[in-house]
Amino acid sequence: MRAIAHELIALLERLAALGPLPRVKRLLLPPPGADGTHAGEFCAVELDDGSLGLSFVLLGDTLAQLRGGAGERLAAMPALELARCYAESEGVQRTLGFAAVNALTRHLFDRAGYAPPPAQGSTGDLALQPGDHVGMVGLFPPLVKQVLATGARLTVVELREDLVGAHEGWHVTLDPAELRGCNKVLSTSTVLLNDTLDALLGHCRGAERIALIGPGASCLPDPLFERGVTLLGGSWIADAEGFKNALLAGTSWSGCARKTAIARDAWPGAAALLARAASVQR
């Protein structure tokens, strides 16, 4: 069920074979005052080399557990040990494990001298045009108008029953099988945490483009590309100190990071980055 998670850990195990990896320095959480805002949706794990990785905290009671002390003993833990929780644990530990996966991915990128390309837009670089039928997994209200303005139709798949309904040019459904009629799919990166990704991709076999986007979509994309995803759009933290200060204060950290878009046909591959990191190590 978690083949993708295990494959990501296997890639990070190959990184560990090159030499010691950093340890966890600390967990950063948004304050209660940020609840209900975008600034309150993510935590960050910081490694002792300065690498940062984000993870979504609004699934279940994850945020409440973190504020209750669930992440207090992370300091000095080997980052790879925490990352393994993404594949092997549930709930809050899985959330923290995914943040560590993203932090170690940033560590590898920096060692290999790789920086993901900037995103060209907010719709996952899907090159939308009239006649497209777009599947959106997770409602992105700001993007609905952008999609409709291209002349495309829109089907939104949600978990929240209160959002279901028909609108002019688009509708919201609880049935992921409706994605089978979509030629382009845009999904929130939350599917990397809530165990819905495999089922989602099973409904998207007919799509020519599949984009996963969101601040948490900052892992190695290889297992996703192998399963049909064509673009991974995450966040690249350019100003680490500014980002940490903003997250802890519950203010917007968008000015400290840029949106990225790694396209499948332009990705050098994890193996190439590992080889670069190995040459730097020597």
DSSP string, 88-123: H--HHHHHHHHHHHHHHHHHHHHHHT--PPBPSSSS
Give the residue among 79, 78, 169, 72 at the shortest CA–CA distance from 128: 169
φ, ψ of residue 281 to 5 degrees: the values are: -60, -40
Report the distance separating Cα 45 and Cα 56, nearest Å.
Answer: 12
Burial 57-92, CB ≥16 within 10 A → b, else e: bebeebbebbeeebbeebeeeebbebbbbbbeeeeb
Q: What is the pLDDT of residues 226-265, one digit of tens each?
A: 999 999 999 999 999 999 999 999 999 999 999 999 999 9
Q: What is the pLDDT of residues 52-78, one digit of tens each?
A: 999 999 999 999 999 999 988 999 999
Within the chain, which residues score under 70 in pLDDT? 1, 124, 281-282
Domains of the chain: 3-115+239-254+269-281 (3.30.390.100)
pTM as predicted? 0.95
Q: For position 185, what pLDDT does the model report?
A: 97
Q: What is the C-alpha separation between 51 and 104, in angstroms, rounded?
A: 7
pLDDT value at residue 137: 95
